[in-house]
Amino acid sequence: MKLFGISVRAQAAEQTAQARVDSIVSAARRHAAAPAERRPQRTAPLPQTDRTSAPLDLRIEQELHFARRLIEGLGDTLSDDPILVHRHGTALQAIDVLTQTLGHLANVVGALDREAAVERIGMHELKARLQRSDGLAAPAALNRTDANPFSRH
């Protein structure tokens, strides 16, 4: 049966599809309007007893933790947008890796025993880069790959 040149079946299918789109948009808006949930801090500062007493090292540690918190907040804000997450998921993951790296580096800089602080790092690739003994040459892991599309080489 046709109503105004459009089959009733096609019209019903279009209304169903539109209702589905409306529900998805509504859910996305509700999620964006909800207060952002804070993730637990992955790289907490070292306990006071394990920290160095060198003032410059402590200031650098504080600045690295501050930069980590700023970037983490940026990542949290950007990841609240489902469309942005869909389009830029890899970049958002890079922001997450960066925040973890900054936290670990801050802990190493502020540690009394830096070698032990490096041993406590849970990121295998970062730990391997910090423990390498090949001088200052950048390892192949820092080259642009599918896993690391943001490197410069």
Total domains present in the chain: 2
| The pLDDT of residue 28 is above 70 | no
For residue 27, count other CB atoms closer than 10 A to its CB.
Answer: 11
pTM of the predicted protein model: 0.59
Distance CA 69, CA 105 (A): 13
**Exposure class string for 92-123: b at 16+ Cβ within 10 A, else e:** beebbebbbbbbbbbbbbbbeeeeebbeebeb
Q: In terms of residue numbers, what domain contains 21?
A: 1-34
Residue 66: which pLDDT band, with cuts at 50, 70 and 90?
very high
Residue 22: which pLDDT band, with cuts at 50, 70 and 90?
confident
Together in a domain, 67 and 114: yes
State the pLDDT at residue 35: 47
Evaluate whether residue 150 is within a structural domain.
no
